[in-house]
Amino acid sequence: MTEPQPVAIDTGNLPESVRELIDLIGLAPTLALVNAWGGQILHVPTGDNPNSKARRRLVSVLGESATQALIWNYPGQRLTIARCVAAMRDARDRQIIAAYGDGTPVARLAAENFLTDRQIRTIIKRSPGDSVAGLAPGQARQLGLFED
């Protein structure tokens, strides 16, 4: 059994602010930023003190070049970092589906993703991204029943 390849995140369901960060610093550093500060306000250092605690933390999460680009473009600003829940969930679901397709057992996928076996089976049965925002999976497909 081979290790599943990382699945690219669908940038179409990311907020505009996050897409701008991807254009500026790249996908991997932006995802690291979302993982570290998602749902919070990031105080971007001004760059005056290259050894500041805030700058060192950014470098440890993003790397030197991404940190420098962020400081250069947003010195001293407060950036609200979106959580990107839908995009992150869809990326996780794609990875689960791909791993299952490669033969990874449901129990192992559940343990690795901190989900129940039932949740894994539900993910495997649906296609990522086929739900409508604000609706539970399955409800989106039922909407057509009530349309004229």
- Going residue by residue through the chain (148 aa), what tens digit of pLDDT does each one get? 444 445 567 777 889 999 999 999 999 999 999 999 999 999 999 988 989 999 999 999 999 999 999 999 999 999 999 999 888 888 899 999 999 999 999 999 999 999 999 999 999 998 655 543 443 444 444 444 444 4
Tell the residue number behind the tokens 């991404």, with chain if given.
Answer: 66
CA 53 from chain center: how many Å? 25
Q: Which of 6, 14, 47, 52 is nearest to 33 (CA)?
A: 14
pTM: 0.67
